[in-house]
Structure 1
Amino acid sequence: MNRAASGRVRWSALAALTLYAGAAAAHSGTGLSGGFGAGFAHPFGGGDHLLAMVCVGAWGAQLGAPLRLALPVTFPLMMVVGAALALLGLPMASLESGIALSVLALGACIACRWRAPVWAACALVAAFALLHGYAHGRELPAAADPAGYSLGFVLATGSLHVLGIGIGELGQRLSGAALRGFGAAVAAAGAAFLYSALSA
């Protein structure tokens, strides 16, 4: 690996790990105020959700068509299903661990450059989306404007997917190793999230 690629990997690792401190903020279960604005801002407040959303886009870009678009479309759709399950009161065990595992697994997929079949990539992303949607669905009844909050949240999630696609495309043009380094850094952050969830 040349010096420039090595530097990009280190910066990617630093960027991913600095998000660790906000892990629980995105689904703390506390009361929520406002509507659209609060919903749009919410995904940016928790490192686990933010990293998972960016990784969905980045992995899709790494895999290429049709997954470049299929994964960022699958995730929000299945998040809605997960939120509906939460609103219906259906139980889901080990939620925080599952969300942490999603960050670890998606980062590892990028780091290992796993060329997953379309069905496998979509199934994995859909399963993780259910967990993220469920976590945020539990908070909707506490929001002042649940519909506005939901719309803002979905649009923010889409924005993070687009950011991830940009990172994936840029990473591949600059250096495949840089993108894999980004994935490894995210996987390391996911492992830290998982350790915290299991220790709680």
Structure 2
Amino acid sequence: MILQMRSRLILLFALGWWLFIAPAALAHVQAGATHGFWHGLEHPLGGLDHLLAMVAVGLWAVELGGVALWAVPLAFIGVMTLGAIGGLVGLPLPLVEPAIIASDVIFGLLVLLGTRLPLYASAPLVGFLALFHGYAHGTEMPGDVSGWSYGLGFALATLGLNGLGLLAGEFIRRYCPPVTMRWAGGAILVGALYVVTQALGGG
């Protein structure tokens, strides 16, 4: 029963990626659309800092297993949405960019080290870091687009990236040596360190 639920969840995220994320991104590039949905959809996909964190959340959820498989990604998406609303209405939140970069490093280390935290610690940690990602999405929304459509776009993009991490993690868990997950965490961490150097260099 648990295996069937896990497989259905993975399939749901996979469908979300292939049916919504990839075709929509291509449509945006081809048509040059300026609608809020496309802006929101593209935003997480266009920034390495966001992309790394969202894929890493999926990887770590597989590492944690059990209820965390769905609870951790949902915590990320849910709190990220709240953060976006805060950014839209102009609520103050300090250290947004450093916190986003720190989240990449933290998630990379968690996967690299195979860290398993209980749900009462892992979900709040993921949610706290997601707050800053959401806030950045909210503050960077173009002023001439619909907030609802923009929010739907970046929520679907986040769902797809989390799902990509879940799919990769599940594939690694089933078909690869255990050390492969450590390599995946290392790749996330290398990407995070690249983001750090770009930020320090003003790139």
2:62–2:169: 8 Å Cα contact kept in structure 1? yes
Partner of 2:184: 182
Structure 2 gaps, min length 5: 1-32
| Aligned-residue offset at 1:99 | 0.5
In structure 2, distance between residues paired with 1:92 and 1:197: 19
Deviations 1:32-73 (A, max 9, x none): 932222322221111111111111111001110110100111
Structure 1 gaps, min length 5: 1-31
Instruction: Tell me, yes or no, if structure 1 residue 37 matches structure 2 residue 38.
Output: yes
Instruction: Tell me, yes or no, if structure 1 residue 154 matches structure 2 residue 158.
Output: no
2:61–2:69: 8 Å Cα contact kept in structure 1? yes
Q: Which amino acid aligns with 1:71?
A: V
In structure 1, distance between residues paired with 2:61 and 2:50: 17
Give the TM-score, by structure 2 length. Answer: 0.78
> Cα gap change, 1:39/1:199 in structure 2, threshold over 3 Å: closer, same or farther?
same
Give the TM-score, by structure 1 length. Answer: 0.79
Q: Which amino acid aligns with 1:135?
A: A
1:101–1:191: 8 Å Cα contact kept in structure 2? no
In structure 1, distance between residues paired with 2:107 and 2:56: 6
In structure 2, distance between residues paired with 1:88 and 1:38: 18
**Percent of counterpart pairs with the same letter?**
39
How well do the aligned residues superpose, as a CA RMSD in angstroms? 1.7
Instruction: Tell me, yes or no, if structure 1 residue 139 matches structure 2 residue 143.
Output: no
Q: Which moved more, 1:135-144 or 1:32-41?
A: 32-41
| Aligned-residue offset at 1:88 | 2.8
| Aligned-residue offset at 1:141 | 5.2
Within 5 Å, give how 1:67-106 maps onto structure 2. Answer: 67-106=68-107
Structure 1 residue runs of 4+, over 6 Å off?
none
In structure 2, distance between residues paired with 1:59 and 1:143: 36
In structure 2, distance between residues paired with 1:70 and 1:90: 27
